[in-house]
Amino acid sequence: MPGFRKRSIRRWNPPQHSFSNMEIPYTISARPDTGLWNAKLGIWLFLASEVMLFGGLFSGYVFLRLGSAPGYWPHGLLNVPVGSMNTAILILSSVTVVMAWASLKMRQFTRYQIYMAITIICGIIFLAVKLAYEWPQKFVHFGAYIKPAVAEKYEDYLGNKHLIEKGLEPRYEITGHLHEIEINRADADPAELDTLIKARGLEVVKTEDEGKVLTLKVHSPSDAVALRDVLGVISNPDEPNPAKRTRKAHGVKIEAFELALDEINANPTSPENERPRFIPRSLSEKTATIHMEDIDGDGQAWSSFEPRHSSYFAVYFTITGLHGLHVLAGVLVFCYYMLPVSTRLYRQNPEHLANRVEVAGLFWHFVDLVWIFVFPIFYLL
């Protein structure tokens, strides 16, 4: 093979090239030993490692899900129409990126640019929907897990008798939008607490017990977290070590939450609420008060829909976050292929640009492929 010989000599003779314009061999012709141009082999090796990365996370998902007790794997908390739309956008972008590559192969540069631009726009829409709509919606939604031992007190919102009769999984979580919280400010640093209330624009609705117990209107669960974290000085006169007689600790005790209930907790026995449905349920008019002593995990099992909420949201944010980073990386690479530097490459060597687009396209299809599994396991099942 004369071609092989010539190239291998060039490859093993670096002084012929300065590093600044070193030519990478086999960008468009196949290497005789692998039968592939180099980048193609490279991207597949990279995708193989990506399969292992996402495979590890998906197997983590399986592990967590199989290990969750009945009633503790949430269903129907994500917006299915929005997720379906994002799936369709990603599929569309997969079609346009392969069309962009095909256009280059057929030497239709303008069409290539149009298809590439659509791909980039699709990627940006996907990310925007995720970051500006889906995730922020979760951060203002509130949920609290009730201790199974006292779940009966909240039967009106959980409907477990009905669910068990029907052979369905019980419910232990009450979800909705947090409107008010009742706090005991006894040990809180008064100045710090008042500053916080003002800074967050919270409204004091009611004061009881000589101003010790406050009911506050809050905007989101993050207000409740901030209130809980207000420090106070806790003193313990019995402590033998004088240095330890006073210490800083959470000075505010949350007594109760009042929330506008999600439809599913407002009518828990309605047959319509037995299974998740396509159209997201709206918030109901009903409200409920949940007392801190009834909340699971020593009163810790309440939060917005964030990673600490549950294994479900932890693995949801991890996988969709990593997937989103991949979408972002793809968009950046595609943008590079729209720059003048790529136009110049096309004029010099169109096949080289086509191969670059093919490699980035392979990565993009892989990202789409991951989403094909992410969508059902988080949104639907």
Partner 1 sequence: MDSSHDPHPATQDGAHDHHDVSKHVKGYLLVGALLLVFTGLTVFLSYVNFGSSKANIIVAMIVATIKASMVAAIFMHLNSEKWTIYRFLLLTVFFVIGLFVLSLLAFHDPIRY
Which positions lie near partner 1, rule CB under 8 A? Answer: 23, 28-30, 34-37, 40-41, 44-45, 48, 51-52, 55-56, 58-60, 62-63, 66-67, 80, 84, 87-88, 91-92, 94-95, 98-99, 102, 105-107, 275-278, 348-352, 354, 361-362, 365-366, 368-369, 372-373, 375-377, 380-381
Q: CB 324 → partner 1: shortest distance, Å?
A: 19
147 and 164 Cβ atoms separated by less than 8 Å: no
Of 88 and 332, which has the nearer Cβ to partner 1? 88
User: CA 374 → CA 55, 77, 83, 96, 341, distances in Å?
Assistant: 12, 15, 10, 21, 35
Q: What's the number of CA atoms in the CB half-sphere (13 Å) around residue 216? A: 30
The residue among 107 and 161 lying less far from partner 1, judged by its C-beta, is 107
SS3 295: strand
CB of 51 to partner 1, least distance (A): 5
Q: Least Å distance between CB 197 and partner 1?
A: 44
Detail the DSSP E strand segments found in the chain. 142-145, 173-184, 203-208, 213-217, 231-235, 246-250, 253-262, 283-291, 302-304
CB 212 → partner 1: shortest distance, Å? 47
Closest to partner 1 by CB, 30 vs 338, is 30
Instruction: Compute the least distance from the CB of residue 305 to partner 1, in Å.
Output: 20
Give the residue with the Cβ less far from partner 1, 186 or 341: 341
Structural contact between residues 318 and 57, judged by C-beta atoms closer than 8 angstroms? yes
Structure tokens at 223: 């207000």
CB nearer to partner 1: pick between 333 and 377? 377
Degrees (nearest 5) of the Cα angle 261, 266, 270? Answer: 150
